[in-house]
Amino acid sequence: MKNKFYDIFRLGIELEMEIPEESYRKAMDNNDLSYDATILKFVTDGSLRTTRDNTQVTELITRRPMEKKQDEEDFISQMKHVLGEFDSSTKQKIFSHYNKTASTHFHWSLKNESEDMLWIFDCIDFEKFFFKKYLKTFKSEKFIDRLSNKYCKVPYIGTETKDYRMKYAIENLNKITIKKYQEEREICTGRYRWLNMQSVEEHTGAEIRIFPFLQTYDGVKLIIKFMQELLIEYYELPETKEKIELMKIYNESIKEYGIKDKNLNKMKRMIYEYITQSTGRYSGEICLMLGSWAKKQPSILIKNNDNNIPF
């Protein structure tokens, strides 16, 4: 599975943590190593707060994207070398303290497609696909609490009470419409959404911010494995292959030129007028919808002649 993953994707990971001062000193020493000597980089994050004495907070990021299985193995082994382990209050071997201000973020990009193709993940189908697996896989409180965290908002799933979230999250997912999806993106401006697409525009891949803080190396491996299997499965769905085709139509013929709205029927014209009033970049969901319209009705394309039809 992982070898197949690296045929298609590259990945990066961010691990926010609170660690003993001795570990922190080793982390800072590691930053002095050359680019080729280490895949680890420790940086500051103003959102993190210490919860005890004699500790420091930091964020561990991949200095460069992981392109192959060996990079992933190097990341874990270098983590172990720099951070080591210590005993928790329950005698569990951990590398960081319990700290709810910390979290884990997963970045990915496509090796054989342009950055613009990452917008196929910014859609209702992927949101449903991701959270159904997330809620089925991760049952502990710290994972469920992330659904209502202000730094990774999921407006139509996350609520204030744990019991409500567990009971109704899937039901709420199935009720998401294009309009609600657009509203979610407007509520969660900038990068503080569970799926951060601003990072695509910043050339650091798509980012999922929903994962909580991790304390063990097995936990880090579990999140990496979960995301790799999920992305491969989603990418290979027939429906996703169709999305790739529609996104290519959008990127090649609609993104720059728009469409001939006068050639749309009345209902589609009303929808198009509504979405063009929104600010910022269209969601992937809207791009896919416009690509679908153009595939079914090529006459709406402004850039459309016998030598330039993208399908």
Confidence of residue 154 (pLDDT cuts 50, 70, 90): confident
Distance CA 249, CA 183 (A): 25
Q: Enumerate the H helices of 9-122 as residue ranges.
A: 21-31, 69-83
Which pLDDT value is given to residue 279?
64
Task: Of 27-36, 105-114, 183-192, 270-279, give the lowest mean pLDDT range.
Answer: 183-192
Q: Do 40 and 69 touch, CB atoms closer than 8 A?
A: no
Q: Say what the pLDDT of residue 32 is.
A: 95
Report pLDDT digits (tens) over 88-99: 989 999 999 999
Provide the token pair at 75.
């990341």
> Given a cut of 80, is residue 194 above it in pLDDT?
yes
Q: By three-state DSSP, how is residue 211 classified?
A: strand
Give the Cα-Cα-Cα angle 71, 208, 147 (nearest 5 degrees). Answer: 140
Work out the number of other CB atoms within 10 angstroms of the CB of residue 244: 15
Helix (H) or strand (E) holding 55: strand 55-62
pLDDT at residue 311, rounded to an integer:
47
What residues contact 242, with CB distance under 8 A and at least 6 apart?
none
Enumerate the domain spans of the chain.
2-239, 242-300
Lowest mean pLDDT among 64-73, 273-282, 286-295: 273-282
Q: Averaged over 276-299, what is the pLDDT?
A: 89
Closest of 168, 205, 171 to residue 65, by C-alpha: 205
pLDDT at 211: 97
Alpha carbon 96 to chain centroid distance? 23
Helices (H), 55-152: 69-83, 124-137, 141-145
Which amino acid is it at 112?
Answer: N
Average pLDDT, whole number, for the chain? 90
Measured CA distances, 99 to 103, 133, 227, 303 (Å) = 9, 25, 23, 53
Q: How many helices (H) and strands (E) does the chain have?
A: 12, 8
pLDDT tens profile 50-67: 999 999 999 999 999 999
- The larger pLDDT score, comparing residue 302 to residue 163, is at 302
DSSP for residue 146 = G
Q: Cβ(247)–Cβ(119) under 8 Å? A: yes
- Average pLDDT (272-293) is 87
Nearest to 241 by CA among 120, 130, 123, 132: 120
Find out whether 47 and 101 touch, Cβ atoms under 8 Å.
yes
- Specify burial of residue 132 (Cβ count, 10 A radius: 0-12, 13-18, 19+): middle
- Span 226-234, mean pLDDT? 98
pLDDT band at 139; cut points 50, 70, 90: confident
What's the half-sphere exposure (Cβ side, CA atoms, 13 Å) at 299?
A: 5
d(CA 53, CA 55): 6
Position 219 pLDDT exceeds 60: yes
Residues paired with residue 212 on neighbouring β-strands, in sequence order: 103
> Nearest to residue 280, comparing CAs of 195, 208, 180, 187?
187
User: pLDDT confidence of 130, banded at 50, 70, 90?
Assistant: very high
